[in-house]
Structure 1
Amino acid sequence: MTVLTRSDAAAALTERLDRTVAPLLPTVGAGWVVPLVGGRQARSVHLDVAASAPALQRVADHVAAALPAYASVHRGAGYLSQLSTALYERARETVGTSVGARADDVVVFTRNTTDALNLLSSAVPGDVVVLDVEHHANLLPWRSPSRAHGARVVRVASTLVETEALLAAELARSPAALLAVTGASNVTGEVPDLRRLADLAHGHRARLAVDAAQLLPHRGVDLAATGIDYVAFSGHKVYAPYGVGALVGRRDWLDAAEPHLAGGGAVREVTTTSTTWAPSPERHEGGTPAVLGALALAEALRTLAETGLDRVREHEAALRDRLVAGLEGRGIEPLRLWSDAPDAVGVVSFVVPGWRSAQVAAYLSAEHGVGVRDGRFCAHPLLARFGLGRGDGAVRASFGVGSGSADVDRLLSALDQLLAEGPRWTYASDGGSCRPAPDDRPAPDWSGLESLTDPLGSASSPTSPCATLPTGADR
């Protein structure tokens, strides 16, 4: 067995940082040129993949090829309807296979991860134990007033080992039906040991549900191999932004639950006084499904599998190393949850000393064409743990198979200019956001928009993220 020394590891890291990393797969919109303030232009750098990933070109091509065949599914006698039905059900099979579904598992197509976890919340026959660092999609459904059982929130410790011990203690204190955890943090990218968490839950007669919105595009999921009981994810996170997600897992709870959406297709028999519901997945897919979205999701997962998840991991690890080293070299410390996290995906959040995160994000977009996210990322309790509360937040850069080292370098170069000179444009609060003032960037002709102003922005937040921006000597 080869044992790597500290110097070997340092040399390997240096080699990764020096290496040029090209995009792994082609995505729709790659190379698009966007306007900057002052009439300039630049290649768009999309580092907000964790929020919504661009479509893989292969996915878009597959949807375009299937579109002429689109028709109703399951009940149509026409050739197109029967073809669409066959494609839809094959997509269901592909999705199940892609996440290691067991023979008795069921694949329910939903709108997104949030929808999937809300569906599961209605089916869980007992209390749910959850960590305080979850995305709201894996926190709020368990606290719904409509649930007959409660949510028990465990505060994470500084290490995964200690956090697992706290979860074990909570599960031992009082019976619970489900342990619900993130597969990869949407704030820090850190990945817990899901096999150990599955064993932990099962040892206390509970099941494990995983919010895999961030995990699936970067590492994949294998229910059979890990023992995970339920997994929820979104197509728009996995390079298939066509309005479909999925809940995959054990059938019994889902067959016993009330239908997620009562309507046609979810039934076996209806009279004026009674209803006989279908088993899952039909039971929870009332109405006409998003057929093309299901096809897109299946094609995205098939493409990632053929590319190889090991290649995806290596590609993103090189980009993450490059970004983290670049930030730390500039005195910017990325946010971290656990000192012993075994892995992290391509999600890095940080605060630039002396600058509000909303201002940093607006500056990166307006002056450099770099798209990131700022705020609290639908994970308010976690950001509060980092001391970033209401009216504040962090900057999040996230990347995927369509990203390259040139994207990371653009971000770091833009931060260099910010730290050395500050913005070259002026910015002001616009409702809940920070925007260039004036914002002279035109919308594309085909969009039909007169400007980029969000008509709902004024209602999104009562705070003014640019109002107290430090300037000059206050930086």
Structure 2
Amino acid sequence: MTAVLDAPVCRPASVLALAPVVGADVTVPATGHSGGVAYANLDYAASAPALTAVADRLAGALAEYASVHRGAGHLSQVTTARYEQARETVRTFVGGRADDTVVFTRNTTDSINLAASIVPGDVVVLDIEHHANLLPWTRTGRARIVESQSTIDATLAALEDELASAPAALLAVTAASNVTGEVLPLARLAGLAHRHGARILVDAAQLVAHRGVSIASFGIDYLVFSGHKVYAPFGAGVLVGRPDWLDSAPPYLAGGGASADVSIDDVAWHAGAARHEAGSPNVLGAVSIAAAADELRRVGFENIGAHDDVLIRRLDAGLAALPHVRPLRAFDDGLDRVAIASFTVVGHTPRAVAEHLSSRGIGVRDGKFCAHPLLAKLGHPDGAVRASFGVGTTSDDVDRLLNALAELA
């Protein structure tokens, strides 16, 4: 069979990995290769591998790890300083305001559940959201679901109509789709929300590893993301945003650390981040996020964007040459995308495609990607296949994927 690379398709120039990641030299079993092959990890959107710089920073922090906030010992003081410095690093990384509160959580889902506990009113949300930015709101009984339209412009108009129809406290949107990679115009959305007296929360889980973000300049009120999406896979997430709702709401968790003074009959709660971080925090997770933020800024988002662009255009061109492959898009005008692409293959279930690719040493994601309403709306209620890239991805990885998909014809 003719490989897809022999097809008359114009591809962007080849690229190498942009930054070293842990596991880049791992080999895995593969059909026809007794010694295995190098693993092509094309599942960054699920959990990105750790940056080598993150692993190195973590190793140093482990050697001096101790309790935080209440210990007088030297290592406790060192660990506390690392943890609190991680907040400032994250604030800078996302362009936060000087008075924004930075709360460390378990992940994006946890961050949005925290947000759902502090919002004093209705929340407007699209029908195509990841479950993390849908279920916490619907569970409150105060969610107002807006149907997405065929274009981004029409979708924004529908959101504005809903916000104008009745007061709402918050507009909650996903910055970049974890299914299609399509990016929404955040500054426009923030302006839209503010015109109607609402705040905006942005689920940036799929954006912050690919694009520079500025809470202050975009006009974002709350932003959330997960460490494991930004090359810091040690079980931590972040909520960054305005302090007033956070300080006036009941603590997200009741326990030590959140409480300033406790008697049998009463409790005084802390303000600030501590109010919502009861219990011993995930210090190493926070340190890892800060290390990833530092490394991504060092690499530079201009370079990351250019690297992503070459890879996604290479993939799009290759998929277009395969008549049995059907790419997924949520919007007719969704031209701005991060390095995520989902597709189906005619005559093959998503799981069968993923297993075929795995037999060639290629890791992708299959299923509904915790976005069941969106997959159903796109006409694929049984799911699809998703390939996603990052700083450790090369053009050879993309070509291996395209060649393996060509075999399925």
**TM tier, smaller:** over 0.9
Q: How does 1:25-40 map to 2 (within 5 A)?
A: 25-36=19-30, 40=34
Structure 2: how far apart are the matches of 1:169 and 1:128?
A: 14
- C-alpha contact 1:209 1:231 (8 A) present in aligned 2: yes
- Among 317, 321, 324, the alignment partner of 2:313 is 321
Structure 2: how far apart are the matches of 1:417 and 1:190?
A: 28
Q: How many residues align?
A: 399
Structure 2: how far apart are the matches of 1:152 and 1:385?
A: 18
Structure 2: how far apart are the matches of 1:209 and 1:79?
A: 39
1:218 partner SS: coil
User: 1:339 offset after TM fit, Å?
Assistant: 1.9
Q: How does 1:433-472 map to 2 (within 5 A)?
A: none
- C-alpha contact 1:99 1:221 (8 A) present in aligned 2: yes
2:354 aligned residue: 361
2:403 aligned residue: 413
Q: Select between 116-125 and 219-228 the one with higher mean Cα deviation.
A: 219-228
User: 1:207 offset after TM fit, Å?
Assistant: 0.4
1:13-61 CA-partner distances (Å, limit 9, x unpaired): x87x241110100000002101135773111010010000000000000
User: 1:352 offset after TM fit, Å?
Assistant: 0.6
2:123 aligned residue: 128
2:331 aligned residue: 338
Determine which structure has more spread, i.e. the larger CA radius of gyration: 1
- C-alpha contact 2:31 2:360 (8 A) present in aligned 1: no
1:339-364 CA-partner distances (Å, limit 9, x unpaired): 22251001000001111111000111
- C-alpha contact 2:330 2:378 (8 A) present in aligned 1: no
1:75 aligned residue: 70
TM-score by structure 1 length?
Answer: 0.83
1:226-277 CA-partner distances (Å, limit 9, x unpaired): 0010001000000000111100000001111111111111011000011100
1:401 aligned residue: 391
- C-alpha contact 1:72 1:81 (8 A) present in aligned 2: yes
Q: How does 1:145-224 map to 2 (within 5 A)?
A: 147=140, 150-224=142-216
Question: Partner letter of residue 196 of structure 2?
Answer: H
| Unmatched segments (≥5 aa) in structure 1 | 1-13, 420-475
- Among 257, 261, 269, the alignment partner of 1:265 is 257
Structure 2: how far apart are the matches of 1:82 and 1:174?
A: 50
How many percent of aligned residue pairs carry the same amino acid? Answer: 58
Structure 1: how far apart are the matches of 2:378 and 2:264?
A: 55
- C-alpha contact 1:368 1:414 (8 A) present in aligned 2: yes
User: 1:379 offset after TM fit, Å?
Assistant: 0.2
User: 1:220 offset after TM fit, Å?
Assistant: 2.7
1:269-308 CA-partner distances (Å, limit 9, x unpaired): 0000111000120000000011111110001011111111
2:5 aligned residue: none
1:397 partner SS: strand
- C-alpha contact 1:130 1:151 (8 A) present in aligned 2: yes
Residue 85 in structure 1 maps to residue 80 in structure 2: yes
Residue 348 in structure 1 maps to residue 341 in structure 2: yes
Q: How does 1:137-152 map to 2 (within 5 A)?
A: 137-144=132-139, 147=140, 150-152=142-144
- C-alpha contact 1:33 1:43 (8 A) present in aligned 2: yes
1:413-458 CA-partner distances (Å, limit 9, x unpaired): 1111121xxxxxxxxxxxxxxxxxxxxxxxxxxxxxxxxxxxxxxx
Residue 250 in structure 1 maps to residue 242 in structure 2: yes
Structure of higher RCO (CA pairs closer than 8 Å, 6+ residues apart): 2
1:361-385 CA-partner distances (Å, limit 9, x unpaired): 01110x2010000111000000001
Structure 2: how far apart are the matches of 1:105 and 1:212?
A: 16
CA RMSD of aligned residues (A): 1.1
Q: How does 1:44-55 map to 2 (within 5 A)?
A: 44-55=39-50
2:3 aligned residue: none
- C-alpha contact 2:120 2:169 (8 A) present in aligned 1: yes
1:104 aligned residue: 99
